[in-house]
Amino acid sequence: MRGRQEGSSTKHGSSSGVVLVAMWLLVPPLLVLIVIKAGFLPQIARFRETGFIKFADKMVHKDLTLVNFYNIQGLDGARWQQQSHDTMKREAAKGYDQPDKMLATNSPKDTSLINSDVEAPIISNLTCDFSNVHSDICRMEGDLRIHGKSATVYVVSASTFRPENSTITVQPYTRKWEKETMSRIREVTMRSMPPAPYSFTIPPRCTARHDVPAVVFSTGGCGANFFHAMSDLIVPLYITAREYSGGVQLLITDYQPQWVAKFRPILSVLSMYPVIDFDADTAVRCFPSARVGLESHSRMLGIDPAMSRNGYTMVGFRDFLRSTFSLQRPWTSPISRSSGRRPRLVLVLRRHSRAITNEADVIAAMEDLGFEVVAALPKDVSDMGRFAGVVNSCDVMVGVHGAGLTNMVFLPHNATIVQIIPWGQMTVACRYDFGDPVPDMGLRYAEYEVNAEETTLKDKYPRDHPVFTDPGSLHRQGKMWPIFLEGQNVTLDIGRFRGFLQQVYQSVTKE
C-alpha cells in the first residue's frame, strides 16, 4: 500500500516538474515579444548609449574639478588626469570618444552653444614653431577642447600625435629671451590624443561650443608700459588675429583688467566677441581651430611683410588704428610759410626721469621758430583715445626717449618724429626702439643727442667718472637702466637745440 502511494506521488511530481520547465522556457520568448510590441528596444539601446555617456561625462567633469584643485596645490593636474583616465576600460573610451556636434552660429553677444554628438570623429592636427626669437606659437585644427582654469588645450584624435609630443607647453608672450619677464607668464599645456582606437584617454566634454577660431595670449609681461603694450602685444595681435575680420575669440591669460579696458577699442575691432579671462574660465570650450601664442617678427614696433602670411605692413597697421579711433588725417604735407599757417608740434613731456628741466624755454624756442606747440603731460598721454586725436592733428612729435614716443603710431603719414637721446652712449638702443621702426611706418625721423653739458648727471658725478669717460663699461655691468635711463634728466642747450629744430621746421614747410 505504501509502495503504491509513493509511486503515485513520484508520478505526480514528475508531471508538475515538466509543466514548470515548459512555462519557464516560454517566459523569454514572451518577454521578447512584449518588448518588441511595446517598442522598448530603441529605448533600451538609447539608455545603454546615453546612460553610460552621461555617467562618463559626470566622471570627467569630476576629474576636471579635482585637476583644478591639484593645480592650485602646485601639482601637475594634466599628468594626474592622464593617469586617472588611463585606468578606465577601453570600451568606455570608445563609447565616449565622440566629438560634440556644432548646432548653431555664434552671436556677437553669446558664444556658448548646446552640445550633441556626431557619429564620426573629427581628425585634428597640432603644429608648433619654436624657432622665433620673440615668441613660440602653436596652431591646431579639428576637435579642440580648451579648459582655461587648468590652462589645458585637448587636441582630440590628433593625426600629428607622437608619444614624444603628446604634451607641449607654451608661454604665450612675445619676449621669450627675457627670463625675468617670462617668469611671470603662465604656461598653457596642449595635450594631444591619438585617433581611435588607439586613444584610451577620455577628454573633457564641451560645455560651450564656438564656431570661430580661438587665440590665446598673455598680458602678464607688459604692465602699464605703453611701448611694450604696443610692441609686445597689440602689433603681434594684429598680425595674428586681423585675418579673421572680427570672427575670432580672444582668451587672455594673466588677465589684467586695466590693460583690457585701455585697449578695448582695438580689441573690439579685432574680435566681435567679449574677451575671456582664461585663468578664471571654468567652461570647457570647443573650437574648430586655435592658436596659442602671438606671431611676432624680429623687430620692435614692426612688421616684416615677408614673414606675414597676409602681407601685413606697419603702414597698414597705422591705417587700422586710424580707422579704429576715427582719426581724420591720413597724410600731412609741407605747409606754405606764406599761408600764415603754422606746423603743429606735440611735445611729449616726462616726469621723474628723462624730464626736460627747462621745458618752458624749449617751448618758447619752438614757438619762435614758427611751430604751434601742444605740450602733453603724462596725464594727457594716458588717455589713449583722446591723445590719439591730438597726435593725429600734428605734423611733428618731439620727446626724450621713452614710452610716450610710441604714440607716433597715431601721426599722419609723412609726419616727423624727433627723439631726444639721453647722455650715456644710448644712441643704438634708442634708435632700435624708436628710430628703426619709423621708415616702415611711413614717417620721417630725426634725433638730437644730449651732450655732457646737457645732462643732470654732471651734478652727480665728477667728469673723470666712467659715466663720462666710459659709459659702455657701465652698460656691461648692467647699470644702463639705473644710471642713464632712470637716473638722469636733461637741460637742453637752447641755442644748440634751436639750430637743430630749425632744420626740422624747414623740412615740414615750403616757400
| Whether pLDDT at 108 is above 80 | no
- Judged by average pLDDT, the poorest of 23-27, 138-142, 171-175, 375-379 is 23-27
Mean pLDDT estimate for the chain: 83
Preceding peptide of 197 cis, ω within 30°: yes
Nearest of 203, 439, 396 to residue 301 by alpha carbon: 439
Mean pLDDT for the stretch of residues 402-431? 97
Q: What is the pLDDT of residue 131?
A: 92
| Whether pLDDT at 83 is above 70 | no
- Identity (one letter) of the amino acid at 474? L
Distances (CA, A) of 264 to 227, 269, 407: 17, 9, 17
The tens digit of pLDDT for each residue in 311-341 reads 999 999 999 999 999 999 999 999 999 999 9
* Cross-strand bridge partners of residue 399: 348, 419
| Whether pLDDT at 262 is above 60 | yes
Strands of 320-454, DSSP E: 335-336, 344-348, 372-376, 396-400, 416-421, 444-449
Instruction: Provide the pLDDT confidence category of residue 17 given band limits of 50, 70 and 90.
Output: low
Q: Which helix (H) or strand (E) holds 380?
A: helix 378-382
Distance of alpha carbon 89 from alpha carbon 269, whole angstroms: 47
Q: Which residue has the higher pLDDT, 7 or 103?
A: 7
| Whether pLDDT at 310 is above 50 | yes
The tens digit of pLDDT for each residue in 477-491 reads 999 999 999 999 999
- Give the DSSP per-residue string, 92-120: HHHHH--PBPP-SPPPSS-------B-SS
| Whether pLDDT at 36 is above 70 | no
Instruction: Provide the pLDDT confidence category of residue 309 given band limits of 50, 70 and 90.
Output: confident
Which residues, at least 6 apart from 165, have a Cβ–Cβ distance to it below 8 Å? 126, 192
Instruction: Provide the pLDDT confidence category of residue 396 given band limits of 50, 70 and 90.
Output: very high
Mean pLDDT for the stretch of residues 260-277? 97
| Whether pLDDT at 90 is above 70 | no
Grid coordinates of 482: 639705473
Distance of alpha carbon 346 from alpha carbon 342, whole angstroms: 13
Instruction: Provide the pLDDT confidence category of residue 384 given band limits of 50, 70 and 90.
Output: very high
Q: What is the pLDDT of residue 122?
A: 87
| Whether pLDDT at 5 is above 60 | no
Instruction: Provide the pLDDT confidence category of residue 202 given band limits of 50, 70 and 90.
Output: confident
Q: What is the pLDDT of residue 164?
A: 84
The tens digit of pLDDT for each residue in 94-106 reads 333 333 333 233 4
Q: What is the pLDDT of residue 363?
A: 98
Nearest of 296, 305, 314 to residue 175 by alpha carbon: 296
Q: What is the pLDDT of residue 45?
A: 39
| Whether pLDDT at 92 is above 80 | no
The tens digit of pLDDT for each residue in 150-168 reads 999 999 988 998 888 899 9
Distance of alpha carbon 103 from alpha carbon 122, whole angstroms: 15
Distance of alpha carbon 390 from alpha carbon 410, whole angstroms: 9
| Whether pLDDT at 175 is above 80 | yes
Q: What is the pLDDT of residue 21?
A: 53
Q: What is the pLDDT of residue 18?
A: 54
Grid coordinates of 474: 657701465
Nearest of 322, 400, 370, 327 to residue 508 by alpha carbon: 370
Q: What is the pLDDT of residue 1?
A: 43
| Whether pLDDT at 66 is above 60 | no
The alpha carbon dihedral of 30, 36, 38, 40 has a sign of: positive
Q: Which residue has the higher pLDDT, 7 or 391?
A: 391
